[in-house]
Amino acid sequence: MWRTERRHALRVTAALALPGAMLVLADQPAWLVYAVFGAFAGMYGRSARGRARTVQQARAALLLATGVGIGALLAWAAVPAAVVVAVVAAFSIVGSLAADRWLLRPAGPFFPIFALGAVAIGPVDPARPDQALGICLLAAACAIALGVRRGTRRRLPAPGGILGPAAAVHAIRYATAVGAAGAVALAAGFANPNWAMAAAAVPLAVIDVGRPAGWELRTVLIRAGHRLGGTLLGLVATAGLLLADPPAWILATIAIALLYPTEVFMVRHYGVAIGFFTPLIMVITSLGAPMAPSQMLTARVADTVIGLTAGIAVAIVVRGGGPGAPALPSAGAICGPAAEPQDRLSPAQRRPARA
């Protein structure tokens, strides 16, 4: 299992390394943010093989590139942060419906939502929208190409995925939580509400939209706890790294390297994975918009608490689902966002879920 996870993590990291090296050599490390979200396409389809994996990653790349493209347009137009919050909330509806229809794994629209907000409120000197989108698509293409593998042909998920009332209610959860978290963060005086909006989406990704509401609260709380603990550890590591004040190319190299342990631990323990993911994201955002470490710690901790509180509250309040929607495994969801539905694997490929 470890060998498979390391190989998968290496593919994702390699997908970022190529465009990342090109940006560093071009003296544009601040634009690494666009490549990171493109490379995240490689996180999808971890347990799939052949065409099934390529389709999953191509669909994920479409959502990620859409998020980056919209975010780049908003950044280029220098719209107010309140407009970004409204756009991200609206985009979360589209992302949630698409992710449920396509049965994407990792589940939910977390990464596309994060991409839109991070790019829209990101580099002080943003790239042109066409440049940002091109960098994202290059990284996504690398991820898809590296993920191609010959092997046992596997049936693709049933056409249509999750539709109807279950998907609609889940999309409403995302829009409500993301919009509320962003609004509260802005009202609290934080100029960058993206971290709060992303944190709001985290607890919702583990909700099984095919089961009656209420059963998933424990899972939601576990995921929120992992997110908070991992974020705190990651922010402390980030603060120490930024205080050392290394050159930008070293920070960019470290950010690329951090993608490897992030993906290795994503299934085994979400909290540990977030401990690596947090400095990765904080480093690439600091390259484009430097921030004092003490200010960063205060703002990101507060944003995390705001976002998680919004996500948990919405999970409790916004109930409902659709009868007949296919159930997704909650055990795998607890492990991490890259967990796959075990019932789609052959008996030889199945492995026990790990909490």
pLDDT tens-digit profile of 43-81?
Answer: 998 877 788 889 999 999 999 999 999 999 999 999 999
Per cent of the chain over pLDDT 90 is 58
Neighbours of 240 (CB within 10 A): 11
Average the pLDDT over 89-104 and give the result.
94
Query: Who's near 206: CB < 8 A, 6+ residues apart?
Result: 107, 216, 219, 220, 222, 223, 330, 333, 334
Residue 324 lies in a domain: yes
What does the mean pLDDT of the chain come to? Answer: 84
Domain that holds residue 130: 2-149+161-343
Phi-psi region of 50 (alpha: psi -120 to 50; beta: other; left: phi over 0): left
Vertex 57: Cα angle to 324 and 112 (nearest 5)? 80
For CA atoms 139, 8, 222, 218, the dihedral sign is positive
What was the pLDDT predicted at 64? 97
pLDDT tens-digit profile of 129-149?
Answer: 999 999 999 999 999 999 887
What was the pLDDT predicted at 328? 35
Residue 138 lies in a domain: yes
Q: What is the count of structural domains for the chain? A: 1
Residue 92 lies in a domain: yes
What was the pLDDT predicted at 1? 56
Phi-psi region of 324 (alpha: psi -120 to 50; beta: other; left: phi over 0): left
Residue 350 lies in a domain: no
Average the pLDDT over 249-263 and give the result.
94
pLDDT tens-digit profile of 178-233?
Answer: 999 999 999 999 888 999 999 999 999 888 776 554 456 888 899 999 999 999 99
Residue 348 lies in a domain: no
Query: Who's near 141: CB < 8 A, 6+ residues apart?
Result: 38, 61
Residue 256 lies in a domain: yes
Phi first, then psi: give them for residue 190, nearest 5 degrees.
-85, 125
Residue 329 lies in a domain: yes
CB 48 within 8 A of CB 8: no
